[in-house]
Amino acid sequence: MKNLGKLLLLALVAVAFTSCNKDQNNPGYTFYPDMQYSQAYETYSENPVFADGYTNRAPAEGTIPRGTMPYPYKAKSFDDQVLAGVELVNPFKGDASVVAEGKRQYDIFCISCHGAVGAGDGYLYASGLFPAKPTSLIEDYVQNKPDGEIYHVITMGSLSGLMGAHGSQVRPDKRWMIINYVRSLAK
Ligand code: HEC
């Protein structure tokens, strides 16, 4: 009786060992192979399923990237620039760390035109490579503008279009930090 129990246990262990499939990639028996292994279209291949023939679909209308907010103020519109100045609020106070990051961003995106201290004498203009005189950022004209208006200029460019939009290059939070830095440059 004792031996029978041991024998049964041994048989059980043997079954347990042999019943497992060692090949992890083999699903075993495939019932509907065309469902198990669906044939995907290549992203840029032609596609007979859609009317326009493209596999790669455009995002649904109104889709925005995660972490971004739609920007409602239009480029080259005086009214929208002023409105942005009234409605948009800088989320940062000018702490040292914010100003330091603002300087870092300014030195990447603005210094070439507006110059090291914001006087509008950056290398691109001074060397004659860029024909339009960049506005001085340290005089009253810019310093008296609300933060939101400067934010609008960075995002959408200047009214005349002589300064291009930087919205696609500078992240929203960094734009505000640049403004904090520009404030620190004021005469
Ligand atoms: C390619 C050169 C160039 C770069 C880069 C540039 N600017 Fe300008 N900026 C200009 C010019 C030129 C003007 C004058 C535009 C005009 O009068 O329409 C100007 C004007 C401005 C004004 C005044 C707008 C107004 O309402 O009159 C502000 C503020 C400003 N720039 C900030 C910035 C900041 C901040 C950056 C960096 C994110 C930057 N600019 C990058 C060339 C540049």
Task: Please give the single-letter amino acid code of residue 166.
Answer: H
Ligand 1 in reach of 156 Cβ (< 6 A): no
Angle formed at CA 30 by CA 27 and CA 35, multiple of 5 degrees: 105
Q: Indicate the pTM of the whole model.
A: 0.76
Write out the residue range of the structural domain in which residue 88 sits: 78-184
Whether 11 is covered by a domain: the verdict is no
For the chain, the straight-line distance linking the first and the last C-alpha, in angstroms and rounded, comes to 101
Residue 107 lies in a domain: yes
The response to whether residue 75 sits with its C-beta less than 6 Å from ligand 1 reads no
Is 126 a domain residue? yes
Per-residue pLDDT of the chain (187 residues; tens, 9 = 90+): 678 999 999 999 888 877 766 777 776 778 888 888 888 899 999 999 999 999 999 999 989 888 778 899 999 999 999 999 999 999 999 999 999 999 999 999 999 999 999 999 999 999 999 999 999 999 999 999 999 999 999 999 999 999 999 999 999 999 999 999 999 999 7
User: Which residue puts its alpha carbon closest to atom 11 of ligand 1?
Assistant: 134
Sign of CA dihedral 104, 106, 112, 116: negative
Distance from residue 65's CA to the centre of ligand 1 (Å): 27
Does the residue 23 lie in any domain?
Answer: no
Domain count, the chain: 1
Could you tell me if residue 180 is inside a domain? yes
**152 located within any domain:** yes
Q: Is 135 in the pocket of ligand 1 (CB under 6 A)?
A: yes
Residue 150 lies in a domain: yes
Residue 36 domain-assigned (yes or no): no
CATH number of residue 142's parent domain: 1.10.760.10
